[in-house]
Amino acid sequence: MRKLWIIAFVFIAGQKAQAQANEELNALIRGSFNYFPRIKELNKAEELSEMRIELAQTGYLPAVNGAASYTYLNPISQKEFVVGPNETQLLKFQPYNNYNMNVGVTQLIWDFGKTKALVEKAKADLLASRQNAEGGKLQLASQVAEIYYSMIYLKRVALLQDSVISFYESNFRMVEGKIRQGDALQIDLSTIRNNIDQEKNRKVEFMRLYERQAALMRYSTGQSTDPGSDRFDFKATVTGDLANNPDVLAANERISASRADLKYTQANRLPSLNFQGGAGFRNGYQPDIAMNRFNYLAGLTLGVPIFQGGRLTKNHLLASKSLELNELSKSALISTLQKDLESIRSDLKAYEEQVKNSTGQIDVANETVRLTQVRYKQGVATYLDLINASTNLQRANLNQLQYEYQRALSQIELCRVLGVRFWQE
């Protein structure tokens, strides 16, 4: 009985105490970011997106290529020319052995925004990858927080079971004394023993669930930990709206990437202007066609798409449909999140009221147990009355514990939906 009073006092005191930031939970969350494979995967995807930007930007840089070739040609063009009386000379227009070594350069001058659109798309993809990584961290942080408070909940329920078992055991001794005095029946003692066994089995079940949560914590963080706190002290400054949700931000970037892709398909219909130049050594120049001589070239190339089998039009249509799909996906996402947000706020309001109301119920249940014990000792009440009073007190304590636990989970879910990085508070 004394332990039941202690439990009730802890519940009430925990409810009135000012919640503080739980650094133990924050440390677990930060550690999970370096351990959980999914976060490593998302970080690697972000690195790949950064490399794609660099790759797209190379479109502005010149392309330099070196080449060396040898060709043996036979027959070759040649002709005899009369150079004097009874004298001719054989003139070769090409050598048998042809050597060519050169370095060429191609530089984009103007492509009507095609390269720019590719760079914009790569940048939007990078931002989307970053938001995906942030969303993964927020999801993992919420998961770790939920596991953490589940362990606290199960630990406190197990403590409540200890107090209930202790209560039944003290009554067991009291009933034994009343049986010896002829004031109680043996069935009362059997009932108490049955209740003790039931409560012990319930505690075993709670401890089994606790071990499962501990295993989930090791899976999520790589750490084996027993929460040092016994309060549902989750508290975060919840500000902002759904626009801060990482999934919404990632959806915005996917739309930006689709728009850049649409610009690229539009620019593909336009011409592109490139500079071409080169320099090197080759033979075949008159009058000494065997000697390698320095040569160079420079020019401009204008490429104009005329007919591509309808590919350009189909690519443009595909990019347009992709943009529409991403916009619809964002609308559906916001609608779902808005529904979740309204449900969470409704739950939080209800849990706040239930926690407050449960305090009075515990006070009444405690007083009822005390009075019933007095009446039972005096022979006014039956043992069934005592069991009912004890059950009501246990139910009231358990209900308050569940309300506090559900309130903490709802606060965590509220942070996730609104994109609040509560581990940084």
The 10s digit of each residue's pLDDT in 133-159 is 999 999 999 999 999 999 999 999 999
Position 21 scores a pLDDT of: 42
Answer for the pair 232, 405: CB distance below 8 angstroms, yes or no: yes
Decide if pLDDT at 196 tops 80: yes
User: Can you spell out the DSSP letters for 340-386?
Assistant: HHHHHHHHHHHHHHHHHHHHHHHHHHHHHHHHHHHHHHTTSS-HHHH
| Cis check: omega of the bond before 305, within 30 degrees of 0 | no
Helix (H) or strand (E) holding 299: strand 293-303
Q: Looking at residues 109-127, what average pLDDT do you find?
A: 93
Is domain 2-424 classified as CATH 1.20.1600.10? yes
Confidence at residue 218, expressed as pLDDT on a 0 to 100 scale: 95
Q: Which residue type is seen at 124? A: A
Poorest-pLDDT segment among 65-74, 149-158, 348-357, 376-385: 376-385
Q: What is the DSSP string of 380-396?
A: SS-HHHHHHHHHHHHHH
Confidence of residue 4 (pLDDT cuts 50, 70, 90): very low
Residue 360 half-sphere exposure toward CB, CA atoms < 13 A = 4
For residue 6, pLDDT beyond 80: no
User: What would the pLDDT profile of 312-333 be if each residue is shown by its tens digit?
Assistant: 899 999 999 999 999 999 999 9
pLDDT value at residue 20: 35
Task: Find the angle CA(376)-CA(381)-CA(383) to the nearest 5 degrees.
Answer: 70
Instruction: Tell which wins on pLDDT, 306 or 6.
Output: 306
Rounding to the nearest 10 degrees, give the CA dihedral for residues 13, 16, 21, 22: 20
Read off the pLDDT band of 411 (50, 70, 90). Answer: very high
Please state, in angstroms and rounded to a whole number, the distance separating the CA atoms of residues 298 and 295.
11
237: DSSP letter = -
Structure confidence at residue 349 (pLDDT): 92
Residue 183 pLDDT exceeds 70: no
Percent of the chain predicted with pLDDT > 90: 56
Q: Give pLDDT tens digits for 258-308.
A: 999 999 999 998 999 999 999 999 998 888 888 999 999 999 999 999 888
- In this predicted structure, the answer to whether residue 423 has a pLDDT above a threshold of 90 is no
18 DSSP 8-state letter: P
Phi first, then psi: give them for residue 81, nearest 5 degrees: -120, 140
pLDDT band at 19; cut points 50, 70, 90 = very low
Please state, in angstroms and rounded to a whole number, the distance separating the CA atoms of residues 248 and 378: 67
pLDDT level of residue 425 (50, 70, 90 thresholds): low
Q: Express each pLDDT in 74-112 by its tens digit.
A: 888 888 877 778 788 788 888 999 999 999 999 999 998
Question: Contact, 213 vs 158, CB < 8 A?
Answer: no
Read off the pLDDT band of 11 (50, 70, 90): very low
Domain ranges, ordered by start, for the chain? 2-424
pLDDT tens, residue by residue, 20-76: 348 899 999 999 999 999 999 999 999 999 999 999 999 999 999 999 999 999 888
Say if residues 78 and 90 touch (Cβ distance below 8 Å). yes
Predicted local confidence at residue 17, as pLDDT: 30
Supply 250's token pair.
């990632």
Give me the pLDDT at residue 75, please. Answer: 86
| pTM for the predicted model, two decimal places | 0.80
Predicted confidence band of residue 184 (pLDDT cuts 50, 70, 90): low
Look at residue 399 and tell me whether its pLDDT is greater than 60. Answer: yes
